Structure 1
Amino acid sequence: MPTNNERREFIKKTALGTVGLSFAMSARSYGSILGANDRVNFAVVGANSRGRAHISAISKVNNASLGYLCDVDSRVFDSAGAHIEKAMGKKAKTEKDFRKLLENKDVDAITIATPEHWHAPMGIMGANAGKHVYIEKPCSHNPNETGMLVASQKKNKIVMQMGNQQRSGSASKEAISDIRNGIIGKAYACKAWYANARKSIGVGKPAPVPEWLDWELWQGPAPRKEYKDNVVHYNWHWFKHWGTGELHNNGTHEIDISRWALGVDYPTKVSSSGGRYAFQDDWEYYDTQMVNYEFEGGKMITWEGRSCNGFEVYNRGRGVTIHGTEGTILLDRNSYQLFDMSGKLVKEVKEGAESATTNTMGEGILDVYHFNNFADAIREGKTLNAPIADASISTQLCHFGNISQETGRTLNIDPAKGQILNDKEALKNWSREYQKGWAPVV
């Protein structure tokens, strides 16, 4: 008789195969309209920080164009527009209101690089409009949105990829292939980390909304709050109303790689400890956080986040070590190193080119690989490296970590369904309130 793990693995493979088939069928249908060799016309939504990385990557995508740039900050149209013109050889049209892009038949795919409270609602709206969606991590602001986003992809049969771009790295793929072939024996534990030296965000003061900012559209689905001078553009990450903290902002990447390496999905237990230790200011999340995940089959992942102390681990601001019964792998965005049981380096593989690791843009070759994979899936039905059905699991793990920290206790999780068990207080964090008229609908 097959074991529970064997049955689960069969179900997982079958489910992913079905997802891949739906992607392929959608792409083939799409190709029959456009023609297999026609360009994919992108619209980038959010042109600060990661949006600039999207623009650079799209300029290097085979047979693609960037027709539209969307942002609620009118200042970016000149700077980002010039960047697009230089990279793509032509100007992009500009639009402030994302919803108008969805009415435009010239737009084939949208890329979402907005604040996180917009990610899932915008992705769902895009899918409902028949647009293919590239959505930055984390794919949602809360666990309920994650499920809705996955359902929207399935319902509308569009291509949807999350921006966990290391999944497309050649060195990372080789490392995972080697693990599957037993190069470190049984892989059973991962240690992931992120370290940076962020400064205090201070205490915000109410201020007039800048003339260049549409504060109403910036808030979108989030209940309305007074504008303060320390939120826009980057510090929203640290406010629970709009962001999801460092665990999602950067931890999603290495937790995703750890899941991939160990071949696991949902855990059985999640515990978190930490706090806001470095400064006393408006930062609501945690500048120091340790999250532990336990999985069936005797496997575990630990993530350590230090937002305000940049002391590196193995001379790296971020990365993951994958420990097995016969060796250890050190893996980051730019290289794969294999060590034997005595700690001797026995193999090293460099990525094709470098990617940034701890700045706010994160630009690099991995973006180019990931966007090309996304475009190939749209045009040719090729398999996505990070389909939302799988990538969303890594987002949920980060939600579990923050909920454990919020409640101050270990969460018990149903590993088959990814649901929190027997904890009414924890489940209060499963969803959120929305501004009237803005709640996402699949």
Structure 2
Amino acid sequence: MDNRRDFIKKTTLASTGIVVGASAFSAKSYGNIVGANERVTLASIGVRGRGSGLLDNFSKMYSDGVRIKTVCDVDSEVLAENVKKAAKNQKGNKPGTEVDMRRVYEDKEIDAVVIAVPNHWHALSTIWACQAGKNVYVEKPSSHNVWEGRKMVEAARKYNRVVQVGFQNRSISNVMQAMQFLHSGGIGEVFMARGTCFKPRDSFGIAPDSVSPSNLNYDLWLGPATYRPYNEKKGHYNWHWHWDTGNGDTGNQGPHQFDVARWGLNKKVHPVKVQSMGGIFGISPKECSQETPNTQTSVFEYEDGKILEFETRGRYTNHEANLGIKIGNTFFGTEGWMEVNGSTWKAYKGKETEPFAGSGMAGSAAIGGDSSFLTAPDSKGHFGNFIDAVRSGNHMDLNCDIETGHMSTVLPLIANIAYRTGDTLRFNGEFEKFIDNEEADLMLTRKYRYPYIVPENV
């Protein structure tokens, strides 16, 4: 997979005095291998919402040799509360603060960064970090578009950095157990996977453009995205529902279930066909600036004919399957079916209505009397797994390396492209390009706003 982009003609790194590049750092930072028993020094970049939760989790690992040294956010309003939270968890060890992540990358004491910025910043912030010799934990989806996601993989490999994507299901013991069950033939050959994201969301309103508040560095917030005037309804969290900065709920909550679906199908290649349809229902465009659909059905076909379905419902809805799934997965095999809801799973054989295997069930229900694979794998969780891999310096120790995260992220990204073009698209996974559709190909990347440019040559 790493050589798929070799056909691309390499060009020189975009010249700018602001882009963080390899030349800005000493050779020492590239040899930054953290010993097994050494303290891992982190910076937390983006600490509103999900980022604040990540800061809380990582700072609670202080007794295990993890320290958050710096808290960084373009909105100074959220810095003080997060510094206080980290200091409490770190037995009084108080982090410093930064507004510009580039200052964080200049600090040679920092081993790794935790990135929870808006989607349109994921790629560039990760690439800069790799160039600066930092390991990275980056939230899902790994990128805002397909092309820049491949650049993230290239940067991680070029600078030999550990880059974990925040698909936490990869480190949940019961979900790992469920995947082992599927891959061991638990319901026969799995021919279809279905993911669901049922999250009713009300209108968030509309507002005129205005001057950005003094606590927000709006230029840094906007970063690589096309310039637009500040608008309070397109900023914090609402950026999810505008194409320049977000990917809708299909690309927000959806990536978690896309990842589990692909994992269950055991697919390590891209699909060959995608179609997607939907719209914004129950919310008037005159009363809300939302651009992304709140209702969306996407279907993917793989070369061997296997199917991945995904459904996003942003209005009032029922649940699915026996476990009452709203955000979860269902798998269909030649001998039965399986449902996964959070960390709970159950499998059903043939036409039977009672589960014959599942989380917490006795080993006697296992296939062929072999119950060994029904023991939930040990897991330190996604955060513990990342820290272990930082200490080993080996990306193979990660439960969700950037390549894995990229493969799963591509699914919602190309679904959104199919939705926006209105076409059934054929996809060449080797080159990560569409076949005979120039309009769709243009949406695989974007025009970056100077100087926040994702370089062709990382």
Partner secondary structure for residue 197 of structure 1: coil
Instruction: Report the Cα distance in structure 1 between the residues aligned to 2:71 and 2:420, rounded to whole angstroms.
Output: 37
For 1:286, the equivalent position in structure 2 comes to 293
- Structure 1 residue 350: deviation in Å? 5.7
Q: Number of paired residues?
A: 404
1:333 pairs with 2:342: yes
Does the C-alpha gap of structure 1 residues 416 and 344 become closer, same or farther in structure 2, counting only changes over 3 Å? farther
Partner secondary structure for residue 345 of structure 1: coil
- Structure 1 residue 331: deviation in Å? 1.1
- Structure 1 residue 178: deviation in Å? 1.2
Question: Gaps (5+ residues) in structure 2?
Answer: 5-28, 362-377
Aligned partner (choices 258, 269, 273) of residue 269 of structure 1: 273
- Structure 1 residue 312: deviation in Å? 2.7
Higher Rg of the two aligned structures: 2
For 2:386, the equivalent position in structure 1 comes to 374
Partner secondary structure for residue 230 of structure 1: helix
For 2:45, the equivalent position in structure 1 comes to 45
The aligned amino acid for 2:356 is: V
Deviation string 1:303-337 (CA, Å, 9 cap, x unpaired) is: 00012335333423200001111121111322121
- Structure 1 residue 114: deviation in Å? 0.6
- Structure 1 residue 73: deviation in Å? 1.2
1:260 pairs with 2:289: no
Question: Gaps (5+ residues) in structure 1?
Answer: 1-7, 13-26, 352-365
| Aligned 8 A contact 1:30 1:378 in 2 | no
Instruction: Report the Cα distance in structure 2 between the residues aligned to 1:46 and 1:367, rounded to whole angstroms.
Output: 26
Partner secondary structure for residue 248 of structure 1: coil
Aligned partner (choices 77, 80, 83) of residue 81 of structure 1: 83
Normalised to the residue count of structure 1, the TM-score between the two structures is: 0.87
Does the C-alpha gap of structure 1 residues 44 and 311 become closer, same or farther in structure 2, counting only changes over 3 Å? farther
Specify which structure has the higher proportion of helix.
1
Normalised to the residue count of structure 2, the TM-score between the two structures is: 0.84
Partner secondary structure for residue 250 of structure 2: helix
| Aligned 8 A contact 1:125 1:440 in 2 | no
Partner secondary structure for residue 339 of structure 2: strand
Partner secondary structure for residue 36 of structure 2: coil
The aligned amino acid for 1:329 is: M
Partner secondary structure for residue 249 of structure 1: coil
1:249 pairs with 2:258: no
- Structure 1 residue 148: deviation in Å? 0.9
For 1:217, the equivalent position in structure 2 comes to 220
Instruction: Report the Cα distance in structure 1 between the residues aligned to 2:82 and 2:318, rounded to whole angstroms.
Output: 33
| Aligned 8 A contact 1:165 1:367 in 2 | no
- Structure 1 residue 223: deviation in Å? 2.5
The aligned amino acid for 1:373 is: N
1:65 pairs with 2:36: no
- Structure 1 residue 99: deviation in Å? 0.5
1:344 pairs with 2:347: no
Does the C-alpha gap of structure 1 residues 415 and 147 become closer, same or farther in structure 2, counting only changes over 3 Å? closer
| Aligned 8 A contact 1:57 1:368 in 2 | no
Instruction: Report the Cα distance in structure 1 between the residues aligned to 2:313 and 2:294, rounded to whole angstroms.
Output: 6
Aligned partner (choices 171, 174, 178) of residue 175 of structure 1: 178
Instruction: Report the Cα distance in structure 2 between the residues aligned to 1:204 and 1:55, rounded to whole angstroms.
Output: 31
Partner secondary structure for residue 76 of structure 1: helix
Does the C-alpha gap of structure 1 residues 350 and 250 become closer, same or farther in structure 2, counting only changes over 3 Å? farther
Instruction: Report the Cα distance in structure 2 between the residues aligned to 1:67 and 1:332, rounded to whole angstroms.
Output: 36
1:440 pairs with 2:454: yes
